[in-house]
Amino acid sequence: KVTYFYDSDVGNYYYGQGHPMKPHRIRMTHSLLVHYGLHRKMDILKPLPARVSDLCRFHADDYVAFLKSVTPETQHEQLRQLKRFNVGEDCPVFDGLYSFCQTYAGGSVGGAVTLNHNHSDIAINWAGGLHHARKCEASGFCYVNDLVLGILELLKYHARVLYIDIDVHHGDGVEEAFYQTDRSVGNDSVCSFLFMLCLTFWYVLHGMTFWCDMVILLLKSIFDFGVLCTGKGWPMMWCRNGMLICC
């Protein structure tokens, strides 16, 4: 059983002119999914917005408070905090920033909850996977590390969680979160990095629609051919830049 978390408003958020991060791609992927008829094979849920208490399970209270309060109109009054929390060119302040964080983090936390309670075997949140965000600062277009929040939720019920990073960039925020703990979280970034180099080459040649097509192809593999499986019935959550497998 597959549960897919999607909020139709997620494509409305805009990082700014010329910024490479485009949440609109999530809406494009959803449109392809519907046209292929794959939505009929999944339970589609609108994620509940992540609460402050959810975000603060990993992130610092003052950092979350800053994300909640800062706006494009008031950011010039908070220059010290902008520098302290690394919010600026790569991670700009834009309209609805905190709501965007709540939406994508809520999808990953919600996905982990469905896996923990055996309501689904696979949970999908393509708005999530923002793996660079750190405890007290933004990084690499990422403000809230929903993967870390998802892992923490899964660890409530599972002894180990395997984290497979499938982005061309190293998931440094996730690694840093667990590097000095006794939690068993594996990071397969080297193997996946080599794999994604090829995908990134084609992405550059063929444009953003390639990423969407790749997602659809992998989904069809799950439903039609069973190519992607979770081993011994292990629950799995799939986000944009990473996969979490409970084992």
Catalytic residues: 132
Among residues 232, 61, 59, the alpha carbon closest in space to that of 143 is found at 59
Q: Are 11 and 24 in contact (CB under 8 A)?
A: yes
